Amino acid sequence: MYNARERYQMQESMAASGDDDMTELAISSLPLETRCPPYPLRQHGGFWFSEPFLPAVAAARARFEARTSDVLLASFPKSGTTWLKALAFATLHRTDNPTLSLDHPLRRRNPHDCVEFLEEAFASLSPEDSGGDVLAGLPSPRLLATHLPYTHLPKSVTAAEGTGCKIVYICRDPKDALVSKWLFTKKKLAFAAVDDNPPKPYPIDEMFELFCDGRCTCGPQWHHVLGYWEASRRQPEKVLFLRYEEMLRDPAGSVRKLAEFMGCAFSGEEEAAGVAEDVVELCSMDTLKNMEVNKNGTQNYVKNEAFFRKGVVGDWSNHMTPAMAARLDKIVEDALQGSGFAFGATAESA
């Protein structure tokens, strides 16, 4: 019986052993899961990934060259990713894009268009493509995002101390992440459907069983979180670990912490002018969801409005039974035993 730390060390070892061979033949040999719409999943290095994206994961790992000035926003899907992208973008680029400007990029573009996903940037490459870093042309400081587990990050990101880049990770209670992921998946399925072929029903019971077994994109969720939490304990100057629930309780304080970590702390003049509070207001759920681009715009797989639902804590209780919640809590508790990490713990006690 392995404890949480031993299991994670095994995942690190699996992810590092011949993991960049993502030819069609190699992918077809990986464990397959077909019950998670919209794409089949393959298990690699202890985690499950959308099959079509595995070549991009390998390409990003092999070719992305991190700069010390880069900031990488990491998260398990549906854990506050959109909000973190908006907050980080508005904070890091506030000199060139004043928060109160009516022409601010976040008023014209979805946060996912302002901060690109690392693995998506490499998705257009074919397995035979011998090109280099497709993000090399972006000026510093580069702000990027990823859903990859820590064990699967590009080697240049997790390089030895003094190299690599800074990582900001946001985690969320597994029950709320599950419900948000389920509802978002249903919207993706509806977006992809055609009139004469409506999407199949996807009840939460199906998502729940798969999630509990860790069979979801980038799952198991709790192992995804644990990898970044342990990295933040080893290198707090390099990995900032944030909890979604704490950020909601003190958004302005979280923005200040984020700014300091990214190397662009608010000046005394900015504090007096309430710039941190302005960033919070610009990036609030209500403000962003009412932007024209987010009411009517689309990504290539879903409407922009799908990224702005409630953004609250505890919405799982409106979709899951107490028995389901208790079962998931117990699975997570058992899986994390011996790690020192617990969901719901404060930053001081974790």
Nearest one of 280, 153, 152 to 144, comparing CA atoms = 153
Question: How far is residue 235 from each of residues 186, 191, 232, measured CA to CA in Å?
Answer: 38, 41, 5
Nearest one of 86, 87, 91, 230 to 149, comparing CA atoms = 230
The DSSP secondary-structure symbol of 72 reads E
Peptide bond into 40 cis (omega under 30): no
Question: How far is residue 167 from each of residues 70, 97, 125, 163, measured CA to CA in Å?
Answer: 8, 23, 25, 12
* Contact partners, residue 336, CB within 8 Å, separation at least 6: 4, 222, 226, 342
* Contact partners, residue 7, CB within 8 Å, separation at least 6: 46, 223, 335
Token pair belonging to 333: 């508790």
Distance from C-alpha of 160 to C-alpha of 140, rounded to nearest angstrom = 21
Is residue 83 within 8 A of residue 279, CB to CB? The reply is: no
Q: What is the edge-to-edge ordering of all strands in the sheet holding 239-243?
A: 143-146, 71-75, 166-171, 239-243
147, 152, 223, 224: the catalytic one is 147
Distance from C-alpha of 178 to C-alpha of 320, rounded to nearest angstrom = 10
Distance from C-alpha of 284 to C-alpha of 271, rounded to nearest angstrom = 19
Question: Catalytic: 147?
Answer: yes
Coil, strand or helix at 215 = coil
Which amino acids are annotated catalytic?
A: 147
